[in-house]
Amino acid sequence: MIEENVLKIRQRICSLCSKINRDPDSITIVAVSKGRSKEQIGECVAIGITEIGENRVQEAIAKYKALTAQGSQIRTIKWHMVGHLQTNKARNAVEIFDLIQSVDSMHLALEIDRQAAKIDKVQSILVQVNTSGEPTKFGLKPSDTIEVIKQMARLKNIDITGLMTIAPIGGQPEKVRSYFRILRLLLDKINDLGLTSQKLKVLSMGMTDDFQIAIEEGSNMVRLGRAIFEG
Ligand SMILES: *Cc1c(COP(=O)(O)O)cnc(C)c1O
């Protein structure tokens, strides 16, 4: 089932990209495997999906340990933290995650920087922005983002590589599109202002229900759970 699902997703991305004149290979699929088994993650890896997203540190550590103990193919996994990260879990998070997508405060960035320094790591992160303004969602306000990124850019042990947002579930397509557009414009603005040592490249937006709209709006990283694991 996973293989068929992924094939369908790749086909959809390909046909969409040919319509909007984008390179389908420029779009990274992250399989969000919260609640799924290590065997299901193994199936993803076997068909070339090596970016794996988790939303809880404890669950991720258990899977990480189980999978790194196995065959070498599994070692190619890049682990993404996509859920809200509590400051007291930052130490464990920097030990296993290749990319922490959900950095939503200076306070958290400082702690990630401190913990990463201890293990001599430069931790790649995305800054999460709450583009819809929904009170239940984590993420910086768009209007605060530039100022916060200016401060985060001074930290030596984090590398800001892009921005992430989560659109409201079941939102109207045109509304959802506007929330993705806000994130893309913000990324362009940050790059125009030259706030970070390297230009931000990653725009992580789009999930099962809205990844096609997200790609039309410039997403180059989609985070898919149900589309991959349910059929
Ligand atoms: C669960 C989750 C996803 C995947 O959601 P689906 O709708 O199942 O594709 C993506 N991003 C985050 C942050 C998630 O928590």
Ligand 1 midpoint to CA 82 (Å): 8
Per-residue tens of pLDDT for the chain, all 231 residues? 999 999 999 999 999 999 999 999 999 999 999 999 999 999 999 999 999 999 999 999 999 998 887 665 567 899 999 999 999 999 999 999 999 999 999 999 999 999 999 999 999 999 999 999 999 899 999 999 999 999 999 999 999 999 999 999 888 999 999 999 999 999 999 999 999 999 999 999 999 999 999 999 999 999 999 999 998
pLDDT digits (tens, 9 = 90+) for 107-121: 999 999 999 999 999
Give percent above pLDDT 70 in the chain. 98
Greatest C-alpha distance within the chain = 47
Straight-line distance from the first to the last Cα atom of the chain, in angstroms, rounded to the nearest whole number: 7
Residue to probe by mutation, ligand 1, list 207, 210, 219, most atoms within 8 Å of CB: 207
**C-alpha dihedral, 8 to 13 to 15 to 17, nearest 10°:** -170
pLDDT digits (tens, 9 = 90+) for 67-79: 887 665 567 899 9
| C-beta atoms surrounding 184 within 10 Å | 18
Coil, strand or helix at 209: coil
Ligand 1 midpoint to CA 118 (Å): 31
Coil, strand or helix at 74: helix
The pair of three-digit structure tokens given for residue 88, joined into one six-digit string: 């007291």
